[in-house]
Amino acid sequence: MRKLSLLLIALMAFFVVVGCSSGSDEPAADEAAEAKTMETLVVGYAQIGAESEWRTANTASIKETAAQLGVDLKFSDAQQKQENQIAAIRSYIAEGVDVIGFSPVVETGWETVLQEAKDAGIPVIMVDRRADVPRDLYATYLGSDFVAEGRKAGDEMNRLLPEGGKIVELVGTVGSAPANDRYSGFRETLADNIEIIDSQSGDFTRAQGKEVMEAFLKNYGDEIVGLYAHNDDMAIGAIQAIEEFGLVPGVDIKIVSIDAVRGAFEAMIDGKLNVTVECNPLLGPQFYDLALRAVNGEQLPEWVPSEESVYYPDNAADLLPERQY
């Protein structure tokens, strides 16, 4: 009996070994998948909305670059609603795209859906704005240093108001990384003789920038000698309110803004805006380069910062023709 059992075990072991090395024509499960190219890459992009000139230029860069590279782009506009962005990301996961890109409208509330993307093996790249999530939930963040933008804006306000005075602030979308960081960076460099007497959100739009500035003027009138706007669209709306109130924008009220969109150059040429700090929206080329590298297994740096400058009225007319946004 004992001999029979030993024979059976030996036979079983033999077939197991043969089976594994049977040279089956099925490829080994661990054979590296073929590397993706731009022409075979499928990208899902969950955009915030179309709230500003900056966003319009950012969207154009994402779409036009995909067309130039031959990337299959699935694109959605969330109308500045987080729930719409989350739904779009879930739809890309269900579609099985190769990589997901998104600009988080606010910093919080993303961990669950990004974990779902990770569980599905889909790398995520944060573009433009950053979300507050653990490092293992995203491949990299491509975007600006918003704190540095705020610091530059503070330096410019100090230069424009050497005697100091009372200023107001138009904040971007509440809870968004640019609003949070531009708020804090500005206060790091602002001189002690300049007092921020009011600070309200205009949600990065012209309409709300005008509305909030009208309220500021009603409450404080010509006490206000300066305005810090977190983006050019709110500044342009505020300029309209200042003119309707009977003051001269750029003269009675010095204005410092951020983005450096075409509308800001036109306002500087008209003498109504004193300075704009650049925030580059043309992120398409860098995004697809990072997306392809992530899909093909490269470990990416935590943050890829975009290059930016500061622009003034004195050469705005010369530069306007070459501005791409």
Binding site for ligand GZL (CB under 6 A): 51-52, 54-55, 128-129, 144, 178, 204, 231, 233, 258-259, 279
In whole angstroms, what is the distance from residue 102 CA to residue 71 CA? 16
Least distance in angstroms from the C-beta of 210 to ligand GZL: 15
- Residue placing its CB nearer to ligand GZL in the complex, 116 or 145: 145
Q: CA torsion 293→294→295→298, rounded to 10°? A: 70
E-strand spans in 64-212?
72-77, 99-102, 124-127, 140-143, 165-171, 194-201
In 3D space, the residue among 120, 107, 102 whose CA is nearest the CA of residue 45 turns out to be 102
Q: How far apart are CA 264 and CA 273, in angstroms?
A: 7
Q: How far is the CB of 27 from ligand GZL (least distance, A)?
A: 44
Q: Which of residues 51 and 156 has its CB atom nearest to ligand GZL in the complex?
A: 51
Helix (H, G, I), strand (E, B) or coil at 201: strand
Query: Alpha-carbon distance 271 to 219, whole Å?
Result: 25
Instruction: Confirm if 242 and 213 have CB atoms less than 8 A apart.
Output: yes
Which is nearer to ligand GZL, 45 or 54 (by Cβ)? 54
Least CB distance to ligand GZL at residue 26 (A): 48
**Closer by beta carbon to ligand GZL, 225 or else 282:** 282
Q: How far is the CB of 29 from ligand GZL (least distance, A)?
A: 42
Looking at the Cβ atoms of 51 and 169, the one nearer to ligand GZL is 51
Least distance (Å) between residue 52 CB and ligand GZL: 4
Q: Which of 265, 255, 213, 269 is nearest to 57 (CA)?
A: 265
DSSP 299: P
Cβ 66 to ligand GZL shortest distance, Å: 20
For ligand GZL, the closer CB: 238 or 258: 258
